[in-house]
Amino acid sequence: MTAKAVASAGGRALCGLLLAVFGAGCGDEGVVLDPSSVETADLGVFAIDAEGVTEDVEVVMPEDAVSLTLVATQAASREILFGITAPDGTTLTRGVNRCTSVDSPLRVLTRPSTAVAMMPGTEVAPAVGSYRVRLRTALAYAECAGPPLPGPGPVALRALWKKVPMAGGKQGPLRGQRLAVNVFLVGNVKRNPLLDGGLAHMRGLFARAGLEVAPPTIIELRDYEAARYARIHLDSESLDMRMLLRRSAEAPEDGVNIFVVDEITAGAGFTIFGVAAGIPGTSERGSERSGVLASNVILDSRMFDERFVGRVLAHEIGHFLGLYHTTEASGAHDQIADTPACPGYGYQAPTRKNCLAADGNNLMFWEGDTFGDKEIAASGSLTPGQSFVMLRSAATH
């Protein structure tokens, strides 16, 4: 196994912000140094056996790692499930008979063709030691609930460790994290002041959480292939979205890739403002999970403003960095301890307006704002626990 180290970014002058948010210390010059780096390794290609799963794969979390991201890929469009066991024998997520591990210690979504898992998924640091990982595939999302079946082909597994040097035998501080942003304008989508203002508002939302969002790189995709994917329909496979996201290979650096398309629809013609390719995604360019989509619909200044655009983009990037909805439409909650939980309303989905006293203003509440909402200026908050997860994403460095 050969590991490839990725150079970290230089120092960031974020001392005042980090002192305010995290109480972090700074050097004499008032500059916070960013010593984090990302180390990657291909763990191998593993066959699906007669029981419908792979062999156990041992993945080590070293002392200097603050997170571990696992990326599983298969040539066929099959749902991929992770079964992960912690060093102490605790089952973190089940890879058998469960499509979505909502109530397990580690929440991991199944995805067709490429699936991503990240530790930590909460504000609790992952344990040092050896993890056992087992993969299985399913013919379709609905089949995940059934017993495993022999898969059509092998699954490749890749690991990304985010590391911070040890200091005095202890884990050094994680601070001064930066997120590169690549914005792809697909087909007929044009850059306009509302997009620029939305990106600026998004940067401000993340700055409150101690995350520096770099000025975006704008990339125009005007070729025939891009035109094919200018209108995305989301279904069980979402193949067009996945194919478009592979164009992230054209980005100048790893980070988050925002693809702005003419339209995103789902179900019976429902219009979608934005969608993340995974929770989390992977920052590595060229993957079909390496970004988020946004609809050009939100760039209509007759209907929306820059605060709305910024929050839509930030919300989807929050998913990309590992955050789930604080409260789901179903009434389920995330697993981060310090995010308020909105109480259930029987058979009625909790609405943002009904949850303002709890998590209605949190960036990751399931229901978005609407233009003209008097509460919009207060929306977009993030808790320290949510910041803990995002800053450990391999996409930030």
State pLDDT tens for residues 337-388. 999 989 876 667 888 888 888 998 999 999 877 655 556 666 899 999 999 9
**48, pLDDT greater than 90:** no
* pTM for the full predicted model: 0.89
Name the most confidently modeled range: 165-169, 267-271, 323-327: 323-327
> 124 Cβ partners below 8 Å, 6+ apart?
none
* Cβ atoms within 10 Å, residue 236: 11
Which CATH architecture best describes the domain 4-19+28-171? Sandwich (2.60)
71 closest CA partner among 281, 351, 220: 281
pLDDT digits (tens, 9 = 90+) for 92-112: 987 655 565 667 889 888 888
> Would you state the pLDDT for residue 372?
54
8 A C-beta contact, residue 80 and residue 70: no
Give residue limits of the domains in the chain: 4-19+28-171, 177-390
pLDDT tens sequence across 221-235: 999 988 999 999 998
CATH classification code of 177-390: 3.40.390.10
The DSSP secondary-structure symbol of 235 reads -
User: Which H/E stretch holds residue 102?
Assistant: none
Give φ, ψ of 252 to 5 degrees: -75, -25
